Amino acid sequence: MHMADALIVPTVAGTMYAASAAAAVYSVKKVRQEDDAKKIPVMGVMGAFVFAAQMINFTIPGTGSSGHLCGGMLISAILGPYAGFLAMIGVLFIQCILFADGGLLAFGCNVWNMAFYGCFAGALLIWKNIMKNGVTRKKIIAASVIGCVATMQLGAFSVTLETLASGVSALPFTAFVSVMQPIHLAIGLAEGCITAAVLVFVYQARPSLLWGIGTADEDQAKGSKGRLSYRSMLAVIAAAAAVTAGGLSVAASSFPDGLEWSMEKVAGSSELEADGGVYEAAQQIQDMTAVLPDYSFKDTDTVLGTSFSGIAGGIAVMGLCIGCSCLFRFFKRRNVKNSH
Amino acid sequence: MSNVNNAVREVRRISAMAQQDKWLNRVHPLAKLGVTVLYIALAVSYTANEGIGLLGMSVYPITLFVAGDISAADSLKRLRAVLILVCAVGILNPFLDTRPAGHIGSITVSAGVVSMLLLAFKGVLSVLAAYLLMATTTVEKLCSGLYSLHMPKLLVTVILLTYRYITLLMEEAGRLQQAYALRAPGQRGIRPAAWGSLAGSLLLRSMDRAETVYESMCLRGFNGAFRVSAGRMRWSDLLYMIFWAVLLVLVRLFIFQ
């Protein structure tokens, strides 16, 4: 999944560098807060371990082929998401400069696709939630397999988006996704099984090495302090949405989406005309109400308009989501009160 | 097993090359890094319409291979993996984009063929540029350069530690794999029943090693970070950077357009 420099354009590379740098700065801050000097050599040696373990080929039963570890999920299950993320940056950096495995310009993309999802989504959303009420062998297997599959799918999807936003492939979005996702589903499953085998071995031999074990009581005592609060979570999602909507929309907006592409192939045009009073009335209402028609300011077609449309759309969707969530929470509370 | 040995050999070869005392190796790491990043950014910014201009960008790798006395043959091995990946992405372009882009004699060349060739050439140039950087700059110098660019010290320390222990742990992984192969002749890879114990024992040994490393580092006065310094940038380094920056921008803007 290592992207080469030739697959991206400088604008996409810059955007992904900025996103990865923000995650790295946050991780450095969190690791510094832990104030554990002992952890630094462990991060370095664990990075080297992942590098070395990637060289070992594991036979995949029934396929006649072999796979290897990627390591994001494994390293964050041992070191935690923040230290794991920094260690993965070290691994990817060495791979990039010593083995040309992933380009120098595409380094930000590779950190995001492989380290960010593996460490942040894998550890914080999957591993932490599954291990919330204690650790068992089955839970480790479930977390490893689900984590590796999910993070691999997210990474592969990002590769597709970054490549298409760079405009280097003539493949339409749907065709690209339908090639990338199933391949990485198989790879994710294989990696999940290898990760599960290693983590189960560690759990049986030295359980204290696993992240979060033995700290469950401390976490409970801390209450919600140790977790990412809703406000912080919203801020992170808002920042990610703003980067995607404002930055990537500029690069991506010149390409037709899967549906437009299909229509163009079938009907010869991506805009279908319809006659009749109802259609015309609906069109008039839409023209009057549309603040940013065709993702631009009215009567202009500027890059600023596209970025603004992306950000404004993102804010509107987020507002709608928050509104719906509040509404659901209100009705849920009322139901609980009534049942009492 | 062979890929572990090959990887170890490759790391040692590159490190030995980077430690040589040649004029290109003595150029400040930040000057070389800046030129490399600018070169790759300019090379990948070419579109299919201006593809022929990319030929002009080959001036940088050719000059450095010749002037820096670096073997180009060794760098070509690295191109294999990148070219496979790049071609896998661009392989369908000739079939999907059949618009005529030009003629070579009586043969019409489609826009898809041009874009695929352009993609492959961009891949070659960017890998060569990164190889030239690594063949003339040690990881320590590169990290100290990044540190002077305000990269967090913690991250620089982690990268340096990872680099120092990579060969050691790769050799250990190689020994484990060799021991397994000797007990299971003719078997390809490691069978599922041994996945956990084999990689797990390597992990536990690595963690023990990390403990020992930490203790020995503490005894030598480790306080959470290495002392790294890239040294001062000299006038000649600055001149090197300005020369390449101006030349590459001029090539991008005016040559073969």
Q: Provide the mean pLDDT of chain A.
A: 73
Counting one residue from chain A and one from chain B, the pairs whose CB atoms sit within 8 A come to: 256
Contact with chain A for residue B182, Cβ under 8 A? no
C-alpha angle B196/B202/B206, rounded to 5°? 135
DSSP conformation letters of chain B: -HHHHHHHHHHHHHHHHHTS--HHHHS-HHHHHHHHHHHHHHHHT--GGGGGGGGGGGHHHHHHHHHTT--HHHHHHHHHHHHHHHHHHHTTHHHH---EEEEETTEEEEHHHHHHHHHHHHHHHHHHHHHHHHHHS-HHHHHHHHHHTT--HHHHHHHHHHHHHHHHHHHHHHHHHHHHHHHSTT--SB-GGGHHHHHHHHHHHHHHHHHHHHHHHHHTT--SS------PPPHHHHHHHHHHHHHHHHHHHHTT-
Reported confidence tier of residue A143, pLDDT bands at 50, 70, 90:
very high
Largest CA distance in chain B: 75
Contact with chain A for residue B184, Cβ under 8 A? no
Distance from the B240 Cα atom to the nearest Cα atom in chain A, whole angstroms:
20
Is ipTM over 0.85?
no
Contact with chain A for residue B152, Cβ under 8 A? yes
Sequence-distant (≥ 6) Cβ neighbours of residue B108 within 8 angstroms: B100, B102
Tokens, residue B250: 């001029």
1.10.1760.20, 3.40.225.10, 1.20.1090.10, 3.40.50.720: which CATH number matches A5-339? 1.10.1760.20
> Quick check: B36 pLDDT over 90?
yes
Reported confidence tier of residue A25, pLDDT bands at 50, 70, 90:
very high
Q: Could you say which DSSP state residue A68 is in?
A: -
Residue B194's pLDDT is: 81
In whole angstroms, give the CA distance from residue A172 to residue A231.
Answer: 37
In one-letter notation, the amino acid at residue A130 is I
In whole angstroms, give the CA distance from residue A45 to residue B161.
Answer: 7
In one-letter notation, the amino acid at residue A209 is L
Q: Which residues of A touch B78 (CB under 8 A)?
A: 99-100
In whole angstroms, give the CA distance from residue A108 to residue A24.
Answer: 11
Contact with chain B for residue A94, Cβ under 8 A? yes
Q: A56 vs B198: CB contact, 8 Å cut-off?
A: yes
In whole angstroms, give the CA distance from residue B234 to residue B202.
Answer: 45
pLDDT digits (tens, 9 = 90+) for A70-126: 788 889 998 889 999 999 999 999 888 887 778 888 899 999 998 999 889 888 888
Contact with chain A for residue B246, Cβ under 8 A? no
Where is pLDDT greater, at A338 or A19? Answer: A19
Which of A55, A110, A202 to mutate: most B Cβ within 10 Å? A55
Determine which of A12-21, A245-254, B32-41, B71-80 has the lowest per-residue pLDDT on average. Answer: A245-254
Q: Which residues of A touch B173 (CB under 8 A)?
A: 52-53, 55-56
Residue A233's pLDDT is: 45
Q: A42 vs B142: CB contact, 8 Å cut-off?
A: no
Q: B169 vs A163: CB contact, 8 Å cut-off?
A: no
Domain boundaries, chain A: 5-339
Tokens, residue B28: 């400040």
Residue B28's pLDDT is: 92
Tokens, residue B83: 């070219």
Residue A68's pLDDT is: 64
SS3 at position A327 = helix
A33 by Cβ neighbours in 10 Å (0-12 / 13-18 / 19+) ranks as exposed
Most confident among A19-28, A174-183, A231-240 (mean pLDDT): A19-28
Residue B1's pLDDT is: 47
Residue A268's pLDDT is: 52
> Quick check: A308 pLDDT over 70?
no
Read off the pLDDT of each residue in A24-32 and give the average, rounded to a whole number: 91
pLDDT digits (tens, 9 = 90+) for B124-142: 888 889 889 988 898 888 8
Residue B84's pLDDT is: 76
Q: Provide the mean pLDDT of chain B.
A: 83
Determine which of A202-216, A291-305, B46-60, B232-246 has the lowest per-residue pLDDT on average. Answer: A291-305
Most confident among A262-266, A286-290, B205-209 (mean pLDDT): B205-209
Tell me which chain A residue has its CA closest to the CA of residue B160: A44
Q: B200 vs A205: CB contact, 8 Å cut-off?
A: yes
In whole angstroms, give the CA distance from residue A37 to residue A14.
Answer: 32
In residues, how long is chain B?
257
Enumerate residues 140 to 159 of chain A having a beta carbon within 8 A of any beta carbon in chain B: none
Residue A281's pLDDT is: 64
Read off the pLDDT of each residue in B238-247 and give the average, rounded to a whole number: 94
Reported confidence tier of residue A180, pLDDT bands at 50, 70, 90:
confident
Instruction: Express as a percent the part of chain A with pLDDT over 70.
Output: 59
Residue A313's pLDDT is: 54
Tell whether the torsion through CA atoms of A131, A137, A141 and A142 is positive or negative: negative
Sequence-distant (≥ 6) Cβ neighbours of residue B227 within 8 angstroms: none
Reported confidence tier of residue B165, pLDDT bands at 50, 70, 90:
confident
Reported confidence tier of residue A319, pLDDT bands at 50, 70, 90:
low
B92 by Cβ neighbours in 10 Å (0-12 / 13-18 / 19+) ranks as middle
Give A98's Cβ-side CA count (13 Å radius).
Answer: 27
Distance from the B193 Cα atom to the nearest Cα atom in chain A, whole angstroms:
9
Distance from the B119 Cα atom to the nearest Cα atom in chain A, whole angstroms:
6
Reported confidence tier of residue B37, pLDDT bands at 50, 70, 90:
very high
Enumerate residues 148 to 207 of chain A having a beta carbon within 8 A of any beta carbon in chain B: 163, 168-171, 193-194, 197-198, 200-202, 205-206
Q: Which residues of B touch A38 (CB under 8 A)?
A: 214
Instruction: Express as a percent the part of chain A with pLDDT over 90.
Output: 15
> Quick check: A266 pLDDT over 70?
no
Place of tokens 């989501």: A321
Where is pLDDT greater, at A17 or B116? Answer: A17
Read off the pLDDT of each residue in B155-162 and give the average, rounded to a whole number: 88
> Quick check: A66 pLDDT over 70?
no
Largest CA distance in chain A: 74
Phi, psi of B112 (to 5 degrees): -65, -40
* pTM, rounded to two decimals: 0.72
Reported confidence tier of residue A212, pLDDT bands at 50, 70, 90:
confident
Contact with chain A for residue B44, Cβ under 8 A? yes
Q: Are A7 and A108 in contact (CB under 8 A)?
A: no
Q: Which residues of A touch B96 (CB under 8 A)?
A: 170-171
In whole angstroms, give the CA distance from residue B54 to residue B46.
Answer: 7
In one-letter notation, the amino acid at residue A45 is V
Place of tokens 């250990």: B172
End-to-end CA distance of chain A: 53
Q: B44 vs A9: CB contact, 8 Å cut-off?
A: yes
Determine which of A49-53, A139-143, A190-194, A244-248 has the lowest per-residue pLDDT on average. Answer: A244-248
Distance from the B239 Cα atom to the nearest Cα atom in chain A, whole angstroms:
23
Read off the pLDDT of each residue in A131-158 and give the average, rounded to a whole number: 90
